[in-house]
Amino acid sequence: MAVAVVVTGILSGLGGTVLSLLLHMIQHLAYGYGQPGGPHTFVQGVSAAPAWRRMAALCAAGVVAGVGWWALGRFGRPLVSIGGAVGKTELGRPMPPLSTLVHLLLQIVTVALGSPLGREVAPRELGAVLATGTGRMLGLVAADRRIIIACGAGAGLAAVYNVPLGGALFILEVLLGTMGQRAVLCAMGASAIGACVPWAVLGNVHQYETGAMAVTMPVVLWALCAGPVVGIAAHMARRVMAVVQNRAATGVSRIGWCLVVFPLLGVATCFYPQLPGNGRGPMQLALAAQMGVQLAAVVLVLKFVAIMGAVRAGAAGGLLTPSLAMGALLSTVLAGVWNLFLPPVAMGTVALLGGIAFLGTFMSMPLTAIALGIEFTQLGHDMWVPVLLASASALLGLRVCARVDGAPAPTLRPAAPGSMSARS
């Protein structure tokens, strides 16, 4: 088992490195940036690209998504989600290696071309597939293979985002649902190895740059007061997402939907270059307080519509970074209203608080979301207080909504072709 943990961490780290390099290469080719003296981030590259190039990239994304996933559903083996492979009480069905590889490559290509979904599912799936082979080769028993598959997925997440603690908590909180000593030991080891392997190529960097963030009484009060609003908004978004996922296009209709949704996103991108991609661009702008309230409100609505459209069209991808960005944009709007009547708060600071709270509530993983937010930004220790308060109050808002509805909120799965993936 110790050998399996080490091998899984190394393979997941290498896989995450390769997928990250592939994503960046396609982004640079599609939008024509990355040259010396030019823009170096995705949102800057999209902003500098001419309108025809933005349209061409999103139209290409529609073709790749529609034809690619239709062909995979028509000729490939039925996909199995990570949750289906891990199972809840016993080892689930194995993930078909070739079909899963094609599936995750389609995710990377479409996200690089501008799909509004996240890229984090692909390295998780690759890590899980590699861990499945590792467990089989080493002859692990079923219970240990279940742990090692989850470790592969978490190590893949840790690799692409450099989040060893977030990856470990994702394994324990989301995939395994346990804090047993054996699982904790394996999760920490695999996630730490998976996170440090890419350092040799990608560097030891964090995802978002933030300015100085100070804990003030207005910030604490904002966390307590705005948190429930963020939680209620996340609950409503979950409801809509669940409905859209259940109606995701399948078969040949996926091609038609993708050829409509992605070109329309291309048109919107000509006016709002913050829309394409997984949401890292608008999140960074919100953290830097460079999103005005009106722009944040418009981008929030368009981003939500784009995500729902991509899921309805049958495209696959993650919801982690998109939900983080939606929470930050919502918090920017709430902060703008707050500052009109109450002691002002720093826009970038509350954008981070709201993004973490929205992510934890929307994805039902509050501990993992807090760890990810801290590791994404290298957040100072003092800021943990409002982060925890915002997340707790957002969960309170979610519980109130669930009580009013009379039923628990639906469990979301990564956006994926409905008939091709086992629902977790």
List % helix, strand, coil for the chain (3-state, nearest 5): 70, 0, 25
Separation in Å, CA 89 to CA 84, 174, 182, 343, 392 = 11, 14, 16, 51, 29
Question: Radius of gyration over alpha carbons of the chain, in Å?
Answer: 20
Q: Regarding predicted confidence, which is higher, 39 or 17? A: 17
Q: Regarding predicted confidence, which is higher, 223 or 33? A: 223
Taking residues 283-301, report their average pLDDT.
Answer: 92
* pLDDT attached to residue 1: 94
Query: What distance in Å separates the CA atoms of residue 36 and residue 97, rounded to the nearest whole number?
Result: 39
Taking residues 200-218, report their average pLDDT.
Answer: 88
**Position of tokens 């859209």?**
244
* pLDDT attached to residue 418: 42
pLDDT tens, residue by residue, 363-396: 989 999 999 999 999 888 889 999 999 999 999 9
Opening angle at CA 64, ends 63 and 68, nearest 5: 115
Taking residues 158-181, report their average pLDDT.
Answer: 92
| Residues whose CB falls within 8 Å of the CB of residue 158, separated by 6 or more in sequence, listed in order | 12, 13, 16, 164, 166, 167, 168, 191, 192, 194, 195
* pLDDT attached to residue 334: 95
Query: What distance in Å separates the CA atoms of residue 155 and residue 12, rounded to the nearest whole number?
Result: 6
* pLDDT attached to residue 94: 85
Q: Regarding predicted confidence, which is higher, 377 or 401? A: 377
Separation in Å, CA 182 to CA 6, 193, 246, 270 = 15, 17, 36, 51
Q: Regarding predicted confidence, which is higher, 422 or 332? A: 332
CB of 57 within 8 A of CB of 113? yes
DSSP state of 89: S
Q: Regarding predicted confidence, which is higher, 39 or 170? A: 170
Query: What distance in Å separates the CA atoms of residue 356 and residue 395, rounded to the nearest whole number?
Result: 12
What is the value of pTM for the model shown?
Answer: 0.90
Query: What distance in Å separates the CA atoms of residue 234 and residue 390, rounded to the nearest whole number?
Result: 13
335 CB neighbour count, 10 Å cutoff? 28
DSSP result, 160-187: HHT-HHHHHHIIIIIII----HHHHHHH
* pLDDT attached to residue 241: 92
What phi and psi values does residue 158 have, to the nearest 5 degrees?
A: -65, -35
CB of 127 within 8 A of CB of 90? no
* pLDDT attached to residue 399: 85
75 CB neighbour count, 10 Å cutoff? 9
* pLDDT attached to residue 421: 38
Taking residues 243-269, report their average pLDDT.
Answer: 93
Share of the chain above pLDDT 90, in %: 72
Q: Is the dihedral of CA 83, 147, 198, 203 positive or negative?
A: positive
* 177 CA to centre of own chain: 19
pLDDT tens, residue by residue, 293-341: 999 999 999 999 999 999 999 999 999 999 999 999 999 999 999 999 9
**Position of tokens 């409002």?**
386
* pLDDT attached to residue 63: 95
Asked if the model's pLDDT at residue 416 lies above 80, the reply is: no
* pLDDT attached to residue 210: 86
Q: Regarding predicted confidence, which is higher, 103 or 251? A: 103
| Residues whose CB falls within 8 Å of the CB of residue 200, separated by 6 or more in sequence, listed in order | none
Query: What distance in Å separates the CA atoms of residue 149 and residue 94, rounded to the nearest whole number?
Result: 10
Beta partners for residue 317, in sequence order = 415
Separation in Å, CA 122 to CA 44, 156, 292 = 24, 8, 33
Asked if the model's pLDDT at residue 8 lies above 70, the reply is: yes
Domains with residue ranges and CATH for the chain: 2-202 (1.10.3080.10), 217-405 (1.10.3080.10)
* pLDDT attached to residue 88: 55
- The count of C-alpha atoms lying within 13 angstroms of the C-alpha of 25, restricted to the half-sphere facing its C-beta, is 8
CA proximity to 9, closest of 129, 151, 124: 151
Asked if the model's pLDDT at residue 90 lies above 70, the reply is: no
Token code pair at residue 251: 């078969």
CB of 189 within 8 A of CB of 172? no
User: 34-43, 45-54, 249-258, 266-275 — which is least confidently predicted?
Assistant: 34-43
Mean pLDDT computed over every residue of the chain: 90
What phi and psi values does residue 279 have, to the nearest 5 degrees?
A: 110, 0
